[in-house]
């Protein structure tokens, strides 16, 4: 049955207008974004099928083009829509971090870094450059590695920090294996960078390791 024939109170667009976006399920929000279903499926059923197939909205939005192209009903236009939603969410979180008086909500920092790094298939080492009020100046992915390693050069980190006149830094990298537990190599790199940054009076506030679960914070572990 077409969604147009559903009771008005059950149609996603009408629910959105009457109750607001927060009242809608992931499937209903996705259905509004997609606009129509595919052969044999109304748009809400198609959205539910996508969420089941990809195990949730997060994995769906961070899937590669190659993965999405294999799905019947997802053409270039719809794939572009999904990519736009992910990029908008990244930019919104970056805007929130840049306008706050410091990082008063660590959960938002974790969410931002997870959005940036969790879907990466190789190890990526990134920096959050902060001003003197600990507001975000810039997010920069600096080093890239293989499936389990990324070379980190303190000289390049210092050059970037001075280029943007940052007063403080947060480090982050992902573990493509999904296990966020810091390795001994992670701890050694953090110690080296903390010493290097101290030479130019820049504080290292934290180092987050991003895996498949909750990110691990060096500061919360007492490692910084």
Tell me the pLDDT tens digit for each residue of 174-209: 998 888 999 999 999 999 999 999 999 999 999 999
| pLDDT value at residue 8 | 61
123 plus 54 within the same structural domain: no
pLDDT at 15 over 70: yes
pLDDT at 49 over 60: yes
Q: 95 lies in a domain?
A: no
| pLDDT value at residue 151 | 82
SS3 63: coil
83 plus 107 within the same structural domain: no
Residue found by looking up tokens 């829509």 in the block: 81
With residue 102 as reference, give the H or E element that holds it.
none
129 plus 200 within the same structural domain: yes
136 backbone dihedrals φ, ψ, rounded to 5°: -70, 125
108 plus 217 within the same structural domain: yes
Question: 196: domain range?
Answer: 100-221
Q: 94 lies in a domain?
A: no
CATH number for the domain that contains residue 173: 3.40.140.10
82 plus 118 within the same structural domain: no
**Average pLDDT along the chain:** 87
74 plus 106 within the same structural domain: no
| pLDDT value at residue 3 | 66
Total structural domains in the chain? 2
129 plus 213 within the same structural domain: yes
Q: Which domain-ending residue is among 62, 89, 116?
A: 89
Percentage of the chain with pLDDT > 70?
92
62-85 confidence digits (pLDDT tens): 888 888 999 999 999 999 999 999
187 plus 109 within the same structural domain: yes
Comparing 2-11, 127-136, 181-190, the range with the smallest average pLDDT is 2-11
85 plus 104 within the same structural domain: no
* Angle made by CA atoms 167, 221, 176, in degrees to the nearest 5: 85
Q: Which domain-ending residue is among 89, 108, 139?
A: 89
* Strand-pair category, 203-210 with 168-174: parallel
| pLDDT value at residue 187 | 93
Closest CA to 150 of 175, 117, 118, 169: 175
Q: What is the mean pLDDT of residues 119-147?
A: 88
**Are residues 73 and 37 in contact, defined by beta-carbon separation less than 8 angstroms?**
yes
| pLDDT value at residue 121 | 83
Q: What's the rounded Cα separation, in Å, for the pair 38 and 20?
A: 26
- 3-16: buried (b, 16+ CB within 10 Å) or exposed (e) per residue? beeeeeeebbeebb
138 plus 212 within the same structural domain: yes
pLDDT at 1 over 80: no
With residue 71 as reference, give the H or E element that holds it.
none
Contacts of 93 (CB under 8 A, 6+ apart): 108, 111, 112, 115
27 plus 119 within the same structural domain: no
**Are residues 127 and 171 in contact, defined by beta-carbon separation less than 8 angstroms?**
yes
Q: Which residue has the higher pLDDT, 99 or 168?
A: 168
140 plus 163 within the same structural domain: yes
| pLDDT value at residue 204 | 96
> What are 222's two structure tokens?
């007492």
């Amino acid at each position: 049955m077409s969604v147009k024939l559903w009771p008005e109170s059950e149609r996603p667009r009408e629910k959105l207008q009457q109750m607001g976006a927060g009242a809608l399920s992931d499937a209903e929000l996705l259905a509004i974004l997609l606009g129509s279903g595919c052969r044999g499926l109304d748009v809400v059923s198609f959205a539910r099928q996508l969420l089941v197939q990809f195990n949730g909205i997060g994995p769906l939005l961070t899937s590669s083009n190659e993965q999405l192209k294999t799905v019947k009903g997802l053409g270039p236009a719809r794939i572009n829509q999904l990519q736009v939603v992910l990029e908008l969410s990244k930019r919104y979180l970056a805007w929130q971090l840049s306008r706050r008086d410091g990082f008063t909500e660590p959960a938002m920092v974790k969410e931002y870094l997870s959005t940036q790094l969790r879907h990466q298939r190789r190890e990526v080492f990134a920096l959050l450059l902060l001003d003197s009020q600990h507001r975000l100046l810039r997010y920069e992915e600096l080093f890239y590695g293989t499936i389990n390693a990324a070379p980190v050069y303190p000289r390049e980190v210092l050059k970037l920090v001075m280029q943007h006149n940052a007063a403080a830094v947060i480090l982050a990298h992902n573990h493509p294996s999904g296990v966020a537990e810091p390795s001994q190599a992670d701890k050694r790199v953090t110690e080296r960078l903390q010493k290097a940054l101290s030479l130019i009076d820049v504080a290292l506030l934290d180092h987050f390791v991003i895996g498949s679960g909750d990110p691990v914070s060096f500061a919360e572990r007492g490692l910084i």
